[in-house]
Amino acid sequence: MEKITNSDKVLLLGKSDFLVDVSKGLFHTNHGTINLSKLVGKKFGVKIKSSKGELFYVLRPNINDFLDKRLARLPQIISLKDCSLIAGYTGLSSGYRVVEAGTGSAFLTTFMANLVKPDGKIFTYELRTDFFKSAKKNIDDSSLSAFIDAKNKDVSKGFREKDVDLVVLDMIGAEKIVSKARKALKSGGFLVVYSPYIEQVKVVCAAIEMESFVDVRTIECLVRDYKITRDFSRPNTTMLAHTGYITFARKV
């Protein structure tokens, strides 16, 4: 089992969960102060007590812990369930070269970078400088920046990348980028458009129809959690009902 160093990030699982840098030293929470320096040299999986006697499990964080607990959110992100479908339906994996717009909070960017490493790359475009700066901080914090080329540019002015495996668009006016996406894609590559509104899906699908794409489909994903007890079990009463529609198309 690997030992914790001062340059690690750790996931603390307790009454509340946190993802923190060990180098922070003292970490103050509502459940007491945690002395992180005591963790150096210990194995991931150990337990640590706060000054109030609360117990925390210390784990090595994965990408989902980073996305959930650490990534700062400015524009609306693509939720993990939808990111997962984008990866699953396009076969996103090591070596893929991807063009993305807009970067937004870099949630999807870092999710994809974790899958395309070590040989692939995400080329991501963000129009707004304030969002770009915040996204760049998230990217640097993710330890995945070597696999991400982030640009503070308007994607509608075009992009230089060619023979890419995937173009993902999550931005207003995505329909205007469809023909540029087709030119950048390799044969067999995927276009994915994420649209919060069904009216956007209709204009995007009309633009896709004008180009050489096949296997066009639009889906949405509803995830329902269950409350399981020894007596009666049922779906939770509340759920995230709508996030967005995902349209897939393949270049031929």
Ligand X SMILES: C[S@@+](CC[C@H](N)C(=O)[O-])C[C@H]1O[C@@H](n2cnc3c(N)ncnc32)[C@H](O)[C@@H]1O
The pairing of beta strand 185-195 with beta strand 164-169: parallel
Q: For residue 84, report the phi and psi dihedrals to the nearest 5 degrees.
A: -65, -40
| Cβ-contact 169, 195 below 8 angstroms | no
Candidates 102, 159, 193, 246; binder of ligand X (CB under 6 A) is 102
Candidates 8, 126, 141, 165; binder of ligand X (CB under 6 A) is 126
Q: Name which of 27 and 125 has its Cβ closer to ligand X.
A: 125
The pairing of beta strand 148-151 with beta strand 121-125: parallel
Candidates 23, 35, 51, 76; binder of ligand X (CB under 6 A) is 76
The beta strands (E) that lie in 22-178 are given as: 26-29, 32-35, 47-49, 55-59, 97-101, 121-125, 148-151, 164-169
* Binding flag, residue 154, ligand X (CB under 6 A): yes
* Binding flag, residue 106, ligand X (CB under 6 A): yes
* Binding flag, residue 104, ligand X (CB under 6 A): yes
Within 13-52, which residues bind ligand X (CB under 6 A)? Answer: none
Candidates 78, 115, 192, 201; binder of ligand X (CB under 6 A) is 78
How many angstroms separate the CA atoms of 210 and 206, rounded?
Answer: 7
* Binding flag, residue 155, ligand X (CB under 6 A): yes
Q: Write out the residues near ligand X by the rule CB under 6 A.
A: 75-78, 101-102, 104-108, 125-128, 131, 154-156, 170-172
